[in-house]
Amino acid sequence: MYLVLLGPPGAGKGTQAKRLAERLALPHISTGDILRQNVKAGTDLGKQAKGIMDQGLLVGDDLVAKMLDERFNNLDIKKGFILDGYPRTLSQAKTLDEILSNKKLAVDLVVYLNASDAVIVKRLTGRLVCSKCGANFHVTNMPPKAKGICDSCQASLYQRSDDNEVTVRKRLEVYKNEVASLIEYYTKSKKLYSLNADLDPGIVLEQVIELSAKV
Ligand code: ADP
Ligand code: ZN
């Protein structure tokens, strides 16, 4: 099952992708996570990406495509993946098809997690992320059991540097400029299903699982 999650920042792509990866025993591949790992490790890619990410803009297509192609060389994607954060533009959608077809693979299902602006801003500005396992929490909606500590791995939680209101609004704007052409692309190929992501994450998860079982 080669599953792509689409949706605005804060729609819950990361949260759903993590849970889906566990339930379906597939790797979770997040371009945002890979970029942040590069920033943390101080690689050349990380140095190029950091400033762009903090402004809420998109990192260059070539850089991200190369990074993804390398990730797909890992044999753990033999049975599928949950892809989160890619594609974000029509051009990236075409690149994804190319990279996969070179490996004799193809996207099976695209789930669009549709969320309203008000919900998004609230979710992101209160989001807390685990520094070790990447699990997501929220200061009020989904607080950790102990303040500042991850429930699953006990590492410390932090706030992403791009989760402030100004950058969140910019990320939303970038997203809205690009999403229509992506939706059209995947509607044409009949791979797209849309879900209401304002709902409780547990409900959304079951709906995605149901969709994936039909493919
Ligand atoms: P969100 O979708 O919640 O904004 P992500 O973790 O997916 O967060 O992405 C964070 C940042 O990483 C983006 O704002 C962008 O700068 C960069 N990024 C992630 N994925 C891509 C991509 N496919 N193309 C270009 N830039 C990306
Ligand atoms: Zn953790």
Render pLDDT for 156-211 as a digit per residue (tens, 0 to 9). Answer: 999 999 999 999 999 999 999 999 999 999 999 999 999 999 999 899 999 999 99
Q: Is 9 in the pocket of ligand 1 (CB under 6 A)?
A: yes
- Give me the residues paired with residue 137 across strands: 128
User: Token pair 């989001």 is at which residue?
Assistant: 127
Mean pLDDT of the chain: 95
- pLDDT band of 215, cuts 50, 70, 90: confident
Q: Is 64 in the pocket of ligand 1 (CB under 6 A)?
A: yes
How far apart, in whole angstroms, are the C-alpha atoms of residue 27 and residue 91? Answer: 24
In our burial notation (b when 16+ CB lie closer than 10 A, e otherwise), range 61-73 reads eebbbebbbebbe
According to CATH, what is the number of the domain 2-115+172-214?
A: 3.40.50.300
Is residue 31 within 8 A of residue 45, CB to CB? The reply is no
Looking at the annotation, which residues are catalytic?
Answer: 13, 88, 127, 160, 171
| The ligand 1 atom nearest the CA atom of 88 | 23
